[in-house]
Amino acid sequence: MSSKFLGIAGTVLLLAGPAFAHHSFAMFDYNKDVTIVGEVKELQWTNPHIHLLVNVPNGRGGMVEWDVEGGTPGNLRRNGWSREVVKPGEKVSVVIHPMKNGTNGGMLVRASRGDGTAIGGNAGG
């Protein structure tokens, strides 16, 4: 099932892409990549950082909400994002650095649509 949560742990990610916002974010585990697949609940296009809320099937017939924190609206705009780049209900796949504390959230690394096309330019965070 493609809509299952897929945990891909242990991938060391070193990003050397263009300047986009990142966090002082000690709360995220930069040593892990996790991919979540679900439906967009809401894109909060806010400063200082955007939040992409994604409903992800929990494997037991229900949904759990994941909070994906991205960069600044300004930097994301320059990377091909906008406040309407995704719509509620749209299927997305999002790669994140997960929360260290195990809660359902993480830092945006990159995202794609249901058909596999990338959202925004290269890494979307």
Partner 1 sequence: MTSNISRLRMAALALVVGVACASIPADAQQRTPASGNGGEGNGAQVPDFSGVWRTINAPAAPREGTTLRWLPAAGELPPLTPAYLERYKRVQASRETGSEETEPVARCLPPGMPYFTLAQYGLEIVQSKDKVGFFSEWMDAYRRVYLDGRTMPQDFDPSYMGYSTGRWEGDTLVVETVNLRDDTVLDRYGSPHSDAMRVTERIRLTAPDQLENAHTVYDPKAFTKPWEFVRRYRRAAKGNDELHENTCTEGLRLAK
Q: Which residues sit at the interface with partner 1, rule CB under 8 A?
A: 14-27, 30-31, 44, 46-49, 51, 65, 67, 69, 71-75, 77-78, 99-101, 103-105, 125
Of 71 and 92, nearer to partner 1 (C-beta) is 71
CB of 54 to partner 1, least distance (A): 11
Q: d(Cα 8, Cα 49) in Å, to the nearest integer? A: 25
Of 103 and 114, nearer to partner 1 (C-beta) is 103
Residue entry with tokens 């930069």 = 30
Cβ(118)–Cβ(110) under 8 Å? yes
Backbone φ, ψ for residue 124 (5° rounding): -90, 0
Of 58 and 114, nearer to partner 1 (C-beta) is 58
CB of 115 to partner 1, least distance (A): 28
CB of 88 to partner 1, least distance (A): 17
Of 102 and 116, nearer to partner 1 (C-beta) is 102
Q: d(Cα 21, Cα 2) in Å, to the nearest integer? A: 29
Residue entry with tokens 């195990």 = 102
Paired strand residues for 107:
69, 97
